[in-house]
Amino acid sequence: MDPQLLMFHKPKGCTVTRADELGQTTVYHLLPKWVLQDDWVPIGRLDKESKGLLLFTHVKRWVGALTRPGLVEKTYEIWVRGWVSKENLRKAVLGVPSPVGVLKAKHVEVLGGGGPKTRLQVVLEEGKNREVRRLFASFLDPQTCRSNKVMDLKRTAIGALTLDIPSGQWRFLTHAEESLLTLKGRRP
């Protein structure tokens, strides 16, 4: 059976679109021409300033299976400008109301920091537009009373599938990896 999914390590600065009317670099400029010609589509999005794991498929049912809220967790590593308090970590998991609905993480873990920056791992069950950036911008740094800002965002995993290739590179998923993305190993 032919591969149905490919992994791409999206670099910062390119858009996830087939064509950009402003002439900006898109993910399709960085992938082989056949990806666009054979109608491979991204499963989900990462904004222009984000980087990391992005999946593509030419089998439409994969899109629905992997973008359905709550089905597959997505893991991010972020750097936030400012200190993130324990209270704000708790709020991130409980949920924060916003104009686009409640923003919340399933899990947040402090990985470290340096100076006035905090490095976090964030796991989402749902991926609203710019959810991680909006969630942490809703919090104030307890020391400066300024809004936190996500300075760097990298998606490191989708479900049990982890990013393992350099920035700008791609590869097909194995059938075993595809089964990591499905419930009980069933293909969509």
Domains of the chain, earliest start first: 5-69+161-185 (3.30.70.580), 74-158 (3.30.2350.10)
Beta strand 5-10 with 51-57: parallel, antiparallel or unpaired?
antiparallel
| pLDDT value at residue 185 | 40
pTM for the model: 0.92
Choosing from 47, 141, 152, 164, which is the catalytic residue? 47
pLDDT single digits (tens) 108-147: 999 998 878 999 999 998 877 789 999 999 998 888 888 9
Distance CA 40, CA 74 (A): 21
Is the pLDDT assigned to residue 1 strictly greater than 70?
no
Active-site residue, 20 included: no
* One-letter amino acid for residue 63 of the chain: V
Q: Is the pLDDT of residue 169 over 50?
A: yes
Cα 73 to Cα 26: distance, rounded to the nearest angstrom? 25
Q: Are 43 and 62 in contact (CB under 8 A)?
A: yes
Mean pLDDT of all residues belonging to the chain: 90
Q: List the beta bridge partners of residue 57.
A: 5, 41
The pLDDT tens digits for 26-83 are 999 999 999 999 999 999 899 999 999 999 999 988 988 888 877 889 999 999 998 8
Q: What is the dihedral of CA 26, 2, 187, 31, to 10 degrees?
A: -10
Largest CA distance in the chain: 56
